[in-house]
Structure formats: structure tokens, C-alpha cells
Amino acid sequence: MIYISHRGNLDGPSDLENLPSRVDECLNNFFDCEIDLWVEDRKFLLGHDFGQYPVEKNWLIERQNNLWVHCKNSEAISALTSSNDHSLNFFWHQNDSYTITSKKFVWVYPGSPVIQGSVAVLPEKWQSKTVSQGLLNAYAICTDYIWKYKGKF
């Protein structure tokens, strides 16, 4: 099972979401991390509702093996798809039940049935028996409560 910290959270939602040092803390604890990426005026920024924390593209590339990049605007999608370096695992979604990442993982919207080998997102928001059973079929879990789920699986 792969454990993905949602926006750098470890024990619940936090004011530190998407903060680069918080992302690094998750990676240093051997967790993957889902981040929210904006591109504005060719600058890379992390943040959920808007670009808040500047990062260099090299910062992303150096962490590429453990990042799940949620593109938050069309400029972010364009910057990552037009790059000669297709090593980042990125995706776009709104309220779709499922989306496919650039590395062909199925990203499951919270509450949707988990598909074998997919990424179950925020299972803590959907504690139904069906979702809980589906976690056993997941390739990964993306959660705000990563320590809690690591202890379960």
C-alpha cells in the first residue's frame, strides 16, 4: 500500500497545506504527497484555492517519484504537458468520479467505488462499509490522516 499525504497533511487538515517544507516533511517520513499546482506568468506555485507558495520546476522534478500533482489551472496542465520531461505524475479533476493521472493511475473521487489498483482519496470523508472494504483493493490511499491509515494497513 502506498500512503499519500493530502496536501502535506499528516494528522488532519492544517494551515500548512501545500507549504513546501511540509511537503518535504511528508517525503522525509517516506510518504508520497499530493500537491496542488498553479502556474501563473510561467511561475510554479503551490496552494489549494490560489497559488500561494512559489517553487521552482526543479523542486518538483527532484521530488518527482513521490509527488501526485493536482493541476489547478489550465496553465499548470499546459506547462506539464508541453514539457520535454514527462516524469511528473499529474492530473486534473473537479468532481469526476474517476480521473487518470499522467502515469495511468486511476484517481478515485471521495465516495466513489474504489477500483482494483486505484488511488482511494479521502476515505475518512466516506466511512461507508463499501468504501472501507474497497480500500483493500486500492493501490494507494490519499488522506489528511496518514498516520491513522498507515496503522490500519
- Helix/strand/coil (H/E/C) assignment for every residue in the chain: CEEEEECCCCCCCCCCCCCHHHHHHHHHCCCEEEEEEEEECCEEEECCCCCCEEECHHHHHHCHHHEEEEECCHHHHHHHHCCCCCCCCEECCCCCCEEECCCCCEEECCCCCCCCCCEEECHHHCCCHHHHHHHHHCCEEEECCHHHHHHHC
Q: What's the pLDDT score for residue 94?
A: 87
Q: What's the pLDDT score for residue 53?
A: 98
Single pTM value for the model: 0.93
CATH number at residue 107: 3.20.20.190
Tally of structural domains, the chain: 1
Q: What's the pLDDT score for residue 85?
A: 67
Q: What's the pLDDT score for residue 63?
A: 96
Q: Rounded to an integer, what is the distance from CA 100 to the centroid of its chain?
A: 12
Note whether 4 and 144 are within 8 A (CB).
no
Q: What's the pLDDT score for residue 54?
A: 98
- What sign has the CA pseudo-torsion 18, 118, 141, 123? positive
Per-residue pLDDT of the chain (153 residues), as tens digits, is 999 999 999 999 999 999 999 999 999 999 999 999 999 999 999 999 999 999 999 999 999 999 999 999 999 999 999 877 668 999 999 889 999 999 999 999 988 889 899 999 999 887 665 556 678 889 999 999 999 888 776
User: Domain range for residue 82?
Assistant: 2-152
